[in-house]
């Protein structure tokens, strides 16, 4: 029975992804985002449990990738699909072709997430860090953005063309050759950037929650979600900065 425990946890991640996908079409963005977060919780613990129990195996790796593809690929793609059906369209896209075709471009997120996961499984460089944006970070960004800013995203200030550019940008981030730091090890001497990021992330989240609390038309949840978007943006920028700046020997 012990050897099946990590796979059960991974299947819980998969079920969360399926539920988030269903919720994206029928119950709104916040409900879908909650199940993406719950899936991320299970995703964090399945590998840890497998190592702790000494039952790591190839089947678990493959199952984990399949679950992640649903929770962090298909589910956020479904959320963006529904947004494309509600977002404003600029004049040059105001035709039945774009109204019908553009929502399906959201599934590029699922396709590039699958490519990202397949690349991760065979890339020997990604044992201690990532090459490209991790799929959970991508899914959490989209979930947090749509949960907190639905009114702005569906207003005339935003439109389908900008949304499409966002989709393309994040698809590129998933498979780009930019090193992005992981939290698999934490040493002040070697990993100062991680401690700096965590400190700034806490400040951003606290400011977001405070802004949501004092906003007459907002909520603490919305403020936290916007803070999460800011943290993920900071993570990408700091990773890019660390990859281009010269490294100094200690």
Give the domain-ending residue among 126, 151, 177: 177
124 & 238 share domain:
no
Using an 8 Å Cβ cutoff, are 143 and 224 in contact? no
Alpha carbons within 13 angstroms on the beta-carbon side of residue 202 total 5
The model's confidence at residue 34, banded by pLDDT at 50, 70 and 90, is very high
Residues 171 and 206 in one domain: no
**89 neighbors 98 (Cβ within 8 angstroms):** yes
One domain, residues 135 and 115: yes
- CA atoms of 16 and 11, how far apart (whole Å): 9
Same domain, 225 and 173: no
Does 190 lie in the same domain as 165?
Answer: no
pLDDT tens for each residue of 199-212: 999 999 999 999 98
pLDDT score, position 127: 65
pLDDT in the model for residue 168: 97
Tokens of 117: 């996961």
Number of domains in the chain: 2
CA distance 67 to 83: 24
The mean of the pLDDT values for the chain is 89
Q: What is the pLDDT of residues 3-31, one digit of tens each?
A: 778 889 999 999 999 999 999 999 889 99
Domain around 47: 2-177
């Amino acid at each position: 029975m012990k050897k099946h425990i990590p796979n059960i946890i991974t299947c819980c991640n998969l079920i969360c992804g399926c539920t988030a996908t269903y919720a994206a079409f029928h119950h709104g963005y916040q409900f879908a985002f909650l199940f993406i977060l719950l899936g991320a919780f299970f995703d964090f613990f399945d590998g840890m449990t497998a190592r702790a129990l000494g039952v790591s195996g190839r089947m678990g790796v493959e199952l984990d990738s399949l679950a992640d593809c649903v929770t962090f690929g298909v589910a956020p793609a479904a959320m963006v699909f529904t947004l494309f059906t509600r977002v404003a369209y600029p004049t040059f896209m105001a035709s039945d072709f774009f109204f019908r075709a553009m929502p399906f471009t959201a599934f590029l997120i699922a396709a590039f997430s699958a490519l990202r996961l397949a690349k991760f499984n065979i890339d020997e460089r990604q044992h201690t860090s990532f090459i490209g944006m991790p799929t959970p970070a991508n899914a959490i960004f989209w979930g947090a953005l749509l949960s907190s800013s639905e009114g702005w995203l569906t207003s005339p200030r935003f439109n389908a063309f900008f949304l499409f550019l966002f989709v393309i940008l994040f698809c590129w981030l998933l498979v780009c050759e930019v090193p992005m730091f992981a939290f698999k090890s934490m040493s002040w001497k070697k990993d100062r950037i991680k401690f700096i990021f965590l400190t700034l992330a806490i400040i951003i989240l606290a400011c977001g929650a405070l802004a949501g609390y004092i906003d007459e038309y907002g909520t603490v949840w919305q403020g936290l979600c916007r803070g999460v978007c800011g943290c993920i943006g900071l993570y990408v920028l700091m990773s890019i900065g660390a990859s281009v700046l010269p490294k100094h020997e200690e």
